[in-house]
Amino acid sequence: MNDWTGIAQAVSAGGWVVYPLSLLAVAALTIMIDRAYVFWRYARIPGDVSLRSKHRTGEISGNEMAHPRASTLPARHAWSRIDAILSDHEETPLWRTEARIETAAANIERDMSRGLWLLETIVTAAPLLGLLGTIVGMMRSFRLIGGDGLVSPAGVSSGVAQALVATAIGLVIALIALFAFNYFSRRIDRLMDEIESLANERLGDIRLSRETGNAGARP
């Protein structure tokens, strides 16, 4: 209990700058929870490394590996959106299918990145806002120092406390937001690499089946 009381007192000593910092903290937390749910719900590609190794050794076909239960995934799932294009290729030229996949991949990347720009802004804004609180706190302390010396020791220490607390809160928020931003950015890169790999394998199968069918149709 004493620890929480000390934290509350330290935060209250931060002055008015604690309120905008709190808003930034709430915004960052909201974005992190939202993106965590989105990636968990719409970005998990079924399949593992062993399945890929089986495909390489010929134990399973390319279609089995590159078609990871898309029918059981949500309609907004990243792979479902790609699979819907790949499944509708019978009467579509291959170049058109590839163009549609590129467009869908760009839309998926945009959807997965939604809100990350704000998280990146918080990484920069939180320390600057904390620095502003530091400057205000130090100015408050200097105003209490008159020409004859120290006028109010309690007031000066309060101003210094405000300066230190504002800086500390801003740095903590920025660090958490930075780790979250880098994590989600890395997840997006991995997702796009996985989609590209799976799509290329399916396109290769489609191209091979068409070439084989054309060769079989020749007299």
- Is residue 132 pLDDT above 90, yes or no? no
Q: What integer is the mean pLDDT of 5-12? A: 53
- Residue 184: CB atoms within 10 Å: 21
Residue 167 identity: T
Every domain of the chain and the residues it spans: 2-43+50-217
> In sequence order, what are the residues at sequence separation of 6 or more whose Cβ sits closer than 8 angstroms to the Cβ of residue 75?
none
Mean pLDDT estimate for the chain: 76
- What is residue 60's predicted lDDT score, i.e. its pLDDT? 45
pLDDT in tens, 160-213: 666 678 888 899 999 999 999 999 999 999 999 988 888 888 888 888 887 786
The helix (run of H) or strand (run of E) holding residue 149 is strand 149-150
Could you tell me which of 191, 170, 89 has the C-alpha nearest to residue 128? 170
pLDDT in tens, 46-73: 664 334 434 444 444 444 444 445 557 7
For 147, the 3-state DSSP assignment is coil
- What is residue 93's predicted lDDT score, i.e. its pLDDT? 82
pLDDT in tens, 140-153: 666 666 555 555 55
- What is residue 44's predicted lDDT score, i.e. its pLDDT? 79
d(CA 126, CA 27): 11
Annotate 74-139 with three-state secondary structure.
CCCCHHHHHHHHHHCCCCCCHHHHHHHHHHHHHHHHHHHCCCHHHHHHHHHHHHHHHHHHHHHHHH
Question: pTM to 2 decimals?
Answer: 0.74
- Percentages helix, strand, coil for the chain (3-state, rounded to 5) are 80, 0, 15
- What is residue 145's predicted lDDT score, i.e. its pLDDT? 61
- What is residue 199's predicted lDDT score, i.e. its pLDDT? 86
Kindly state the percentage of the chain with pLDDT values over 70: 65
- What is residue 48's predicted lDDT score, i.e. its pLDDT? 43
